[in-house]
């Protein structure tokens, strides 16, 4: 058994630099798709998932510069709605790009995500939320195709407060006319970021 002994009564002082969080940076990077210009993001963590998301963004036509701690993403020339399967299979959270892509384009195609081995985490909540926003979804041969036939605001009642489904719904709803309400939304800090 591990044992910690804390001797209190001493003044705590000093400086600490807090790195950016993976759970925040990836949806922020996905959100840059909705900006048809340059986005500058500071305090970016140097982690493999950031590099995978950079490859995803570049594969659809974004220009990305990654300097120490800073990302500059120019999404003005997005030229593809199809996300490269190679990268999607490497990172489960790549699924959050669907909401932003359908918000920006009329069509997107993405394979089912891969990534970490936390266990089975289906994406049905993501798809149900997007359907509520009027997005037509086809699942076929390991791919998800989304069509922005009638993007509209909606009231979405999530069966479970899924972080990814909440993020996808928010990203897609940004371009919908009207007010979208999401009930039972996730309340993790990265949702507010």
Which residues are the active-site residues? Answer: 116
Residues 6+ positions from 124 with CB-CB distance below 8 Å: none
Residue 33 burial class via C-beta count within 10 angstroms: exposed 0-12, middle 13-18, buried 19 and up = buried
Task: For strands 143-147 and 181-183, give the pairing.
Answer: unpaired
Q: Can you give the length of the chain in residues?
A: 193
For residues 178 and 153, the answer to whether their CB atoms sit within 8 Å is yes
């Amino acid at each position: 058994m591990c044992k910690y002994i804390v001797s209190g009564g001493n003044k705590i002082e000093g400086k600490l630099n807090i790195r950016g969080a993976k759970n925040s940076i990836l949806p922020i990077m996905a959100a840059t798709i909705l900006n048809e210009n340059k986005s500058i993001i500071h305090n970016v963590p140097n982690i493999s998932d950031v590099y995978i998301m950079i490859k995803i963004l570049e594969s659809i036509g974004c220009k990305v510069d990654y300097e120490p701690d800073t990302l500059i993403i120019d999404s003005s020339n997005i030229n593809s709605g199809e996300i490269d399967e190679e990268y999607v299979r490497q990172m489960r959270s790549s699924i959050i790009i669907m909401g932003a892509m359908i918000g920006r384009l009329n069509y997107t195609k993405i394979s089912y995500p891969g990534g970490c081995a936390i266990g089975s985490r289906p994406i049905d909540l993501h798809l149900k939320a997007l359907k509520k926003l009027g997005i037509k979804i086809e699942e076929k041969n390991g791919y998800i195709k989304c069509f922005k036939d009638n993007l509209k605001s909606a009231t979405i009642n999530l069966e479970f407060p899924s972080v990814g489904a909440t993020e996808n719904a928010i990203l897609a709803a940004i371009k919908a006319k009207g007010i979208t309400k999401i009930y039972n939304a996730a309340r993790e800090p990265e949702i507010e970021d």
